[in-house]
């Protein structure tokens, strides 16, 4: 059995359920004081502007401190922050002359996925991403970024068009997951995701994937089978939401904090596991604090990777994509003695695909 990986919790040890870190407590206290001062200003006509300004600065400092080294659970909150850039912001920054394409040609247009063509760094490219809203109204219109089968079918249609045009694909992941609805099942949510995975695996054009916020399980992966996987510093990518995991394992959805830690869903963890190729650093305070800077960081990284794919033959591209995903996962082969140098942790965790036993 592999040694337990280093504990990623900051501070003296794992936080007990329901507790908050000291920075979070301080921030809550400052925010409470701010609310009081604002109420006093409004109701008693006192000028407390100086105190309010000072407290606001303190709150901002604390938020930045939290974002500098967030716990896994804090990372979950950051990844879901409504102030983070949305797919529209990234597309506006990445592409000029964007033409959005609608519909799966069979049932309807899914507003939870935005897909289309644009000029990226002087070349045509397809852009596909989950669309979360900024506020409740927009979120309802976009189904909180949770696609139905027709969303994945639209995404795939646009990716296939890119393949035909010899244009690369950029996918932007930010979803709680595929929509768990009655109609979604009737229209084949499983089939839509399965088909997206199979066809992305075979796509004869480069795919650059960026996890920008919430990478919610199969609904995220369905547009995430990229040649290179980039991840914003405070994004998450998980097989199940921490709350869902806690509800199943401990029959208590409120123990998400523990599950967030156990599941190891941060960019840093996933880089260690080889799931993520590169972390895109976020501006101080997080992407929500400086959305323009976050968008700029994503643009720079995407441009750099797209440039590296220019001129790569499709067969080589697909062979590399095959190897990339084929290797993922840790397992042990009891039937095959560990060859020296086969894996750095010889005798323990070997990457799958490292050897074939018959």
Positions in the binding site for another protein (CB under 8 A): 1-5, 178-182, 184-191, 193-195, 197-202, 217-218, 221-222, 224-225, 237-240, 244-245, 248-250, 262-265, 269-270, 273, 275, 321-322, 325-326, 328-336, 348-349, 352-353, 356-358
Which lies closer to another protein via its Cβ, residue 170 or residue 193? 193
Q: Which two tokens stand for residue 30?
A: 């400052």
CB of 309 vs another protein, minimal distance in Å: 18
CB of 56 vs another protein, minimal distance in Å: 37
CA angle 116, 200, 210 (to 5 degrees): 60
Which lies closer to another protein via its Cβ, residue 49 or residue 328? 328
CB of 254 vs another protein, minimal distance in Å: 15
Which lies closer to another protein via its Cβ, residue 83 or residue 347? 347
Which lies closer to another protein via its Cβ, residue 47 or residue 358? 358
CB of 97 vs another protein, minimal distance in Å: 32
Residue 126: Cβ within 10 Å count = 27
Which lies closer to another protein via its Cβ, residue 190 or residue 254? 190
Answer yes or no: are the C-beta atoms of 277 and 228 closer than 8 Å: yes
Q: Which two tokens stand for residue 275?
A: 């799931």
Backbone angles phi, psi at 298, to 5 degrees: -65, -45
Identify the CA nearest to 275 among candidates 231, 322, 245. 231
Collapsing DSSP to helix, strand or coil, 100 comes out as: strand
Answer yes or no: are the C-beta atoms of 309 and 316 closer than 8 Å: no
Collapsing DSSP to helix, strand or coil, 309 comes out as: helix
Distance CA 285, CA 67 (A): 5
Which lies closer to another protein via its Cβ, residue 161 or residue 262? 262
CB of 240 vs another protein, minimal distance in Å: 6
DSSP string of 68-98, one letter each residue: HS--HHHHHHHHT-TTS--HHHHHHHHEEEE
Which lies closer to another protein via its Cβ, residue 72 or residue 285? 72
In this structure, the strands spanning 123-130 and 113-120 are antiparallel
CB of 299 vs another protein, minimal distance in Å: 26
Which lies closer to another protein via its Cβ, residue 50 or residue 357? 357
CB of 11 vs another protein, minimal distance in Å: 19
Three-state SS for 197-210 is HHHHHHCCCCEEEE
CB of 131 vs another protein, minimal distance in Å: 18
Beta strands in 156-234 (DSSP E): 169-175, 207-216, 228-232
The continuous run of DSSP H or E covering 336 comes out as: none
């Amino acid at each position: 059995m592999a040694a337990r990986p280093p504990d990623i919790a900051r501070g003296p040890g794992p936080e007990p359920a329901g507790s908050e870190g000291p920075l979070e407590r301080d921030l809550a206290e400052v925010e409470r004081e701010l609310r009081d001062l604002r109420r006093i200003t409004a109701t008693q006509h006192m000028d407390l502007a100086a105190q309010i300004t000072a407290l606001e600065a303190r709150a901002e400092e604390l938020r930045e401190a939290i974002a500098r080294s967030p716990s896994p659970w804090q990372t979950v909150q950051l990844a879901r922050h409504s102030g983070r850039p949305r797919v529209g912001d990234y597309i506006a920054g990445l592409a000029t002359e964007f033409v959005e394409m609608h519909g799966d040609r069979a049932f309807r247009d899914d507003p939870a996925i935005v897909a289309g063509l644009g000029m990226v760094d002087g070349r045509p490219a397809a852009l596909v991403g989950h669309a979360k809203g900024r506020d409740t109204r927009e979120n309802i219109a976009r189904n909180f970024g949770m696609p139905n089968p027709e969303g994945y079918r639209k995404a795939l249609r646009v990716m296939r068009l890119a393949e035909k045009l010899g244009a690369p694909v950029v996918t932007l992941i930010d979803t709680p997951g595929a929509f768990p609805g009655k109609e979604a099942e009737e229209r084949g949510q499983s089939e839509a995701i399965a088909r997206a995975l199979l066809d992305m695996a075979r796509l004869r054009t480069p795919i650059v994937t960026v996890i920008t916020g919430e990478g919610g399980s199969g609904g995220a992966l369905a547009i995430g089978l990229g040649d290179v996987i980039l991840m914003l510093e405070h994004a998450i990518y998980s097989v199940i939401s921490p709350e869902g995991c806690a509800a199943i394992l401990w029959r208590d959805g409120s123990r998400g904090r523990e599950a967030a830690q156990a599941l190891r869903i941060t960019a840093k963890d996933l880089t260690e596991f080889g799931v993520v190729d590169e972390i895109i650093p976020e501006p101080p305070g997080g992407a929500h604090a400086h959305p323009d800077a976050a968008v700029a960081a994503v643009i720079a990284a995407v441009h750099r990777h797209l440039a590296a794919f220019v001129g790569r033959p499709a067969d080589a591209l697909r062979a590399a994509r095959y190897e990339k995903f084929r290797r993922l996962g840790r397992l042990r082969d009891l039937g095959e003695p560990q060859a020296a140098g086969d894996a750095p942790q010889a005798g323990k965790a070997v990457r799958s695909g490292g050897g074939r036993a018959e």
